[in-house]
Amino acid sequence: MSDKKASRENDNQPQSGVNGVGAPQVAASGTAMRVPAREPARSSQNAVPRRRLLQGNEAMVEGALAAGCRFFAGYPITPASEISELMSVRLPRENGTFIQMEDEIASMGAVIGASLAGVKSLTATSGPGFSLMQENLGFACMAEVPCVVVNVMRGGPSTGMPTSPAQGDVMQARWGTHGDHPIIVLSVATVAECFEITVTAFNFAEKYRVPVILLSDEVVAHTRENIVLPESAQLEVVDRIRPSVPPQWYKPYADNSRGVPPMATMGDGYRHHVTGLVHDQSGYPTERSDEVKTQLKRQMRKISSGFGEIQLTRSFMLEDAQVAVIAYGAVARSAKRAVRMARRQGIKAGLLQLVTLFPFPRKAVDQVLRQCKAVIVPEMNFGQISREVKRVNRTCRVFTVNRIDGQLITPAEIFQEISN
């Protein structure tokens, strides 16, 4: 169905004109360790071609493995199940562990546990399961446990439309768990990005000690495209920084210039306490106002000080654009084609594709809003990112194109809005 519509456009090549720092491979700066990707078992499988016809979900598995993920816990759900299925085959080969838990709450708990034990961990789900994960996601934010959560969005709310695409979980990805919390939300539009941005997601999670939500949707997840998997040597893979002090000096939540404390692995001699309660720098529960403030502010600061590299966007024909489309996920593919259609008609149109949704890439969006007369925000919901765009907007006219009927927004629909 809509898969074909989306894949007809040859959008799977890595795009040039990247705004912000980083993408395709995230440039990890600062003090993070740079370690080449290790794939022990890969050497025995040299026959694996690097050019592969893959589904979005499958490319995410390849990306996760390339990033060093060696643990997956999940629960069956459409349209994310292929990730579980492939992980159950691939992980044991790579000396990793796959487990199907009794529900998504348990999956998220197991993922956090494995990460605390030093293993990069992933889970994948869709809306209903993502709702169940919110509780332990909050724990991962509070205890600063790196992990990646894929949400292949389907029609909602509730059980909604399991086999149809949507983008209704954007705000949930940012604000789903209770309380103010630091979190990173990324999105993918192509199969190539499913690989590449999954690596980025792990790198961000490890570098900032946060859960990273990776939003896909049913169209991207089930579209098959030919992509070239990069050699592992070309990939930059970031691992969490481990403590270098003797165990008795270790303060698991002490501040430093980056705001990201080194993370000890359970069982390595750095015995400490991990809790979802607000804690002091030793990890012990506290309600002392000065300690609470210090910890929570640091948790927010570690993200805000990384805006430069976290806020990833991609621009297409934006240089002289007077009308811009701001889109993400599968809709960005329709938008790209719509921009081409508009250009053929002599309209100076361009596309700003948001890869990072949160922290909202205000700088890049602001630039587009200043430059253009009109901005169009198409999305498969009633308007979630358009609210963010309007929030940062001062002078530009912002139009929305929304669909919530389980169908991908077509290039023609966006083109029509551009022409108006």
Partner 1 sequence: MKMEKVEQLRHYYLRHDKKFPHVWCPGCGNGIILGSLIRAIDKIGLSKDEVVLASGIGCAGRMPVYADFNTLHTTHGRALTFATGIKLARPELNLITVMGDGDATGIGGNHFIHAARRNLNLTAIIINNQIYGMTGGQYSPTTPYGAKAATATGGHLEHAFSIADLAVTAGASFVARGTVYHVPHLDKLIEQGIRKNGFAVIEIMAYCHTQFGRRNKMGDAVTMMEKLRDRAVAVKDPGAAGSPGTAVAAGASDTPGAAASAGALDSDSLDTLDGKFAIGVLTDVEKPDYIAEYARLRAASRLNAQNAGNAGK
CB of 265 to partner 1, least distance (A): 8
Pairing of strands 33-36, 356-358: unpaired
- 151 is written with which tokens? 């949400």
Of the residues 20, 63, 109, 361, which one makes contact with partner 1 according to CB under 8 A: 109
134 by Cβ neighbours in 10 Å (0-12 / 13-18 / 19+) ranks as middle
Residue 289 engages partner 1 in binding (rule: CB under 8 A): no
- Separation between Cα atoms, residue 267 and residue 220, nearest integer Å: 39
Given 45, 257, 289, 395, the residue binding partner 1 (CB under 8 A): 45
118 vs 156, beta carbon nearer partner 1: 118
Position among 27, 35, 245, 277 found at the interface with partner 1 (CB under 8 A): 277
Pairwise CA distance, residues 164 & 1, whole Å: 10
Choosing from 62, 67, 71, 330, the residue that interacts with partner 1 (CB under 8 A) is 71
The two structure tokens encoding residue 90:
């691939």
DSSP string, 158-202: TT-EEEEE--TTHHHHHH-SSSS---EEEE--SHHHHHHHHHHHH
- Cα 274 from Cα 396, distance rounded (Å): 47
The footprint of partner 1 on residues 84-103 (CB under 8 A) is 89, 92-93, 95, 97, 99, 101-103
Transcribe 68-83 into DSSP letters. T--EEEE---TTTHHH
Which of the residues 314 through 373 are near partner 1 (CB under 8 A)? none
Total residues binding partner 1 (CB under 8 A): 52
Q: How far is the CB of 249 from partner 1 (least distance, A)?
A: 12
CB < 8 Å & 24+ apart, contacts of 398-403: 398/369, 398/374, 399/374, 399/375, 400/376, 401/376, 401/377, 402/378
Task: Confirm or reject binding of residue 105 to partner 1 (CB under 8 A).
Answer: yes
Q: Judge contact between 259 and 230, C-beta under 8 A.
A: no
DSSP-derived 3-state class of residue 201: helix
Choose the stretch contacting partner 1; rule: CB under 8 A; options: 38-46, 205-213, 231-239, 342-350. Answer: 38-46
267 touching partner 1, by CB under 8 A:
yes
- The residue within the footprint of partner 1, chosen from 10, 29, 31, 275 (CB under 8 A), is 275
110 to 149: interface string for partner 1, x by CB under 8 A: xxxxxxxxxx-x-------------xx-xx----------
**Least Å distance between CB 119 and partner 1?**
4
Instruction: Give 71's strand partners.
Output: 97, 121
Q: What minimum distance in Å lies between the beta carbon of 93 and partner 1?
A: 4
Give the residues lining the site for partner 1 (CB under 8 A): 41, 44-48, 71, 73, 89, 92-93, 95, 97, 99, 101-103, 105-119, 121, 135-136, 138-139, 265-269, 271-277, 282, 284-285
